[in-house]
Structure 1
Amino acid sequence: MRLSPLPLLLALLLAACTSTQPRRTVEGRSPAEINTELGIGYMQRGMLAVSMEKLQKAIRQDPQLPAAHNAIAVLYERLGENDKAEAHFRKALRLDPGFSRAHNNFGTFLCRRGRWPEAEAHFTTAAADPLYPQALMALANAGICAQGAGDLDKAEDYLRQALNHNPRFAVALLQMARLTLARGQYLRTRAYLQRYQEVARHTPESLWLGIQAERALGDRDAAASYALLLRNKFPDSEQARLLREQNRHDGNGR
């Protein structure tokens, strides 16, 4: 059975919050904080050159602002300048060891480089912060990363932790579907996908998982329904390409 590649770890929303107390403007934010927020906004819109200008200015204005270093690290990774990205992630965490957003982002960075043990430490630090609003995302990222590293037991443990906190957490439900499919536990895959469908819309990934699980279970009608949705809703997706390839191999033509 052929699976699509593991998805990239979830992109995390950046925020320009900081535990430091730099000089404030009338609006309550320092110039460096304002430029950090602007830089993040431009990055989210794909205006990377302007984002870099704003974030570099923020760091010149306040070299001790952890949020600016975290944001520019994310930008450097997007630009493929990984050494600079890592240096700024480490700088952000030296300035604020409790900066959970930076721990989560740095964990994501390390996981993409295949450095799972290092990534795990940062994910678990972020997940343990009761004030971090994306703690469940950190657990999900840990699960995705562990699965990519081939540690399926640990992946399931992290995803279960996330679902224990929120049984309707769509990200963890989808990843548990992927994990159980990899283990050949097709009835569990079906169950997780059913739970996922109750809280989120189908994606190419969820439809592809459904096709594989239902074919393995021998439910041709259910598999065909998933396949029809995949072809109609996401015809240009990698999963639709895999479906066409699989059907050609099986002699189905479509």
Structure 2
Amino acid sequence: MKRYNHFYRGCLLLLFITIFGGCASTPFSGCSLEDKKSANINVQLGVEYMRRGRNDIALSRLKKALNHCHYSGDAHNAIAVLYGRLGMAEEAEPHYQQAIALMPEAPDIHNNYGQFLCQKSQWDEAHKHFIKAYENPVYRTPEIPYTNAALCALQHQDYATAETYLHKALQKNSKFPRALYQMAHLSYEQKRDKAAREYLQRCLKVAKHTPETLWLGIRIERRLNNRDAEATYALLLRKNFPDSEKTRLLNQSE
């Protein structure tokens, strides 16, 4: 099987990097009440700017949060995520470690750090943190670290482990779009086309089309010799995403 090289695409409805820890309150020993409040406000603003793609303003806000209170686990977590997105791994690493030191039971931080380590090809260490996230009994969304663990396994071509994690994610949340898409793609790669179709259809009941879902649908239906369904997917891809890489691949394949 060829290397699974686009494991972070398809059915992108949920922000996969989670920002805030799962604790009701963050340890702030050493900070005044006013500094705690200012730090929290700046973390919230920084996260919102991250979501809007304004990383420069986000970084400024998160630095202000840490200036107000260096003991904010949420601030360390958020700025670590941001540094990771900016490709600044050396800057991100100490903030992840500080966040975990301050909030060792926060599953969101372990999930984020696991994803960060996976991107650095540190598979074994990454999975240790995913385990700490999804085994936390109070974590409300364990399907996220389960799916991230699957994506990490896919990155180093451990398909059996990936499928196991995806099944566990769907046991926790049968409508989780990212896990459904990844199961559809993995099934397609393994030539289980009817299963791939089923997972993709389930994904599209809870998520909007992306170029990736449409291109996958085209290839599934093409192999199943369903020309009408293939043509429908192709029409939607060309209409809604005319300049996408997947549309270019479609044109080349015909």
Cα distance change on mapping 1:8 and 1:195 into 2, 3 Å: closer
Change (3 A) 1:46 1:158: same
Match of 2:59 among 38, 41, 52: 52
Q: Percent identity?
A: 42
Listed as ranges, the gaps of 5+ residues in structure 1 are 248-254
The 3-state SS of whatever aligns with 2:186 is helix
Aligned with 1:12: secondary structure?
coil
Match of 1:8 in 2: 8
1:149 aligns with 156
CA offsets 1:151-194 (integer angstroms, 9 cap, x no match): 11111111101111222222211110011011111111011112
Give me the whole-angstrom Cα distance separating, in 1, the residues matched to 2:58 and 2:139. Answer: 25
Do the aligned partners of residues 143 and 2 (structure 1) sit closer, same or farther apart at CA in structure 2, a change above 3 Å counting?
A: closer
Distance 1:197 1:43, change over 3 A: closer
Alpha carbons 1:147, 1:179 under 8 Å: kept: no
- Specify which of 220, 233, 238 is matched with residue 213 of structure 1: 220
Deviations 1:127-169 (A, max 9, x none): 1123223321111111122112101111111110111122222
Task: Determine the C-alpha separation between the residues in 2 that align with 1:197 and 1:75.
Answer: 30
Looking at structure 2, the residues matched to 218 and 202 of structure 1 have their Cα atoms a distance apart, in angstroms, of 22
Which range is displaced more, 231-240 or 194-203? 194-203
Aligned to 1:252: none
The answer to whether the Cα contact below 8 Å between 1:174 and 1:196 also exists between their aligned partners in 2 is: yes
TM, length-normalised to structure 1: 0.87
Gaps of 5+ in 2: 10-14
SS at match of 1:235: coil
Q: Distance in 1 between matches of 2:18 and 2:197?
A: 31
Q: Distance in 1 between matches of 2:252 and 2:121?
A: 29
Residue correspondence of structure 1 range 71-110 to structure 2 within 5 A? 71-110=78-117
- Alpha-carbon separation, structure 2, partners of 1:61 and 1:234: 45
TM-superposition CA deviations, 1:48-98 (whole Å, max 9, x none): 222222212221222221111111111112222111111111111122211
Structure number with higher relative contact order (C-alpha < 8 Å, ≥ 6 residues apart): 2
Q: 1:96 to 1:2 in 2, by over 3 A?
A: closer
Q: Which runs of 4+ in 1 moved over 6 A?
A: 1-4
Match of 2:77 in 1: 70
Q: TM-score of the superposition, structure 2-length normalised?
A: 0.87
Give me the whole-angstrom Cα distance separating, in 2, the residues matched to 1:134 and 1:241.
36
**Superimposed CA distance per residue, residues 172-230 of structure 1 (whole angstroms, 9 cap, x where no aligned partner):** 11110011011111111011112222222222111111111111122222222211111
